[in-house]
Amino acid sequence: MNKKTVLCLSGWAQKPDSLNLLFDQNQFNLFNFDYSNFANITDFFKGIKEAKLKPEIIIGWSLGGQLACRLIARQFFFPQKLILIAAPFEFVKSARIPAAMPKRSFDEFYANFKNNPNKTLKTFAVLMNIRDKNAAYLADNLDVNEKNHSNLVSWLEELERFSCFDLNFDSFPRTLIFHGTNDLVVHSSQAEFFKNKIKDSELELINNCGHTPHINFIQELQERIAGFIKI
């Protein structure tokens, strides 16, 4: 049996293999590309081009989902399927997307991370799981990557700067979108923007779920993704 290649792009400051449990590794070749090893978006694009990957499926969580969209829009890849989990259309509040992180809150988080990254990452882990039905469990078991702090600062700056309104979605593949209705990091209404922009897309809103549906609802996502890939 020929295994399909899956490119996995994790969330900001998370371990690159955080999405692996969603796939049966007997059926898929998983490539976890760690963008936190790169100092900026330009180096990331260069690094991913040099990797010479040809993924049939791309999955991205949070910032990883936004990066997946940027790679497809720039035609680095032509995957058969795209899976987005809690991806930000715009991370920081603007006139076009008011349901996002206020600029003042972002600036405070940014300054705290630069001054005390380890403490701020722990606070961020809690924020991802507030209002989640399994919040206590998730806060104790979430993988947090504390390396490459200077690079993570650069990726925060990229999150503030970039808007998916700048992308052309015309050539996007069939897409499955997951988002928790209780997400306090990326408001669930942002998933609707992806749904409206990507012609062949499906949106799964998950109740009683925060920013980590792939952890809190792993079995449900495994089954839904397996069915989505087979179609």
Backbone phi and psi for residue 23, each to the nearest 5 degrees, phi listed first: -125, 145
Task: Tell me, letter by letter, the H, E, C secondary structure of 140-181.
Answer: HHCCCCCCCHHHHHHHHHHHHHCEHHHCCCCCCCEEEEEEEC
pTM for the structure as a whole: 0.95
pLDDT for the residue 110: 97
Residue with tokens 């795209």: 82
pLDDT at 134 over 70: yes
| Percent share of the chain, pLDDT over 90 | 83
- Which CATH architecture is the domain 4-230 placed in? 3-Layer(aba) Sandwich (3.40)
- In this predicted structure, the answer to whether residue 19 has a pLDDT above a threshold of 80 is yes
Q: How far apart are alpha carbons 82 and 56 in whole angstroms? A: 9
Token pair in block for residue 165: 């309104």
Backbone angles phi, psi at 26, to 5 degrees: -80, -15
Q: Which two tokens stand for residue 216?
A: 């809190």
Domain ranges in the chain are 4-230
Instruction: Say if residues 166 and 94 touch (Cβ distance below 8 Å).
Output: no
Does the pLDDT value for residue 140 go beyond 70?
A: no
pLDDT band with cut points at 50, 70 and 90 for residue 141: low
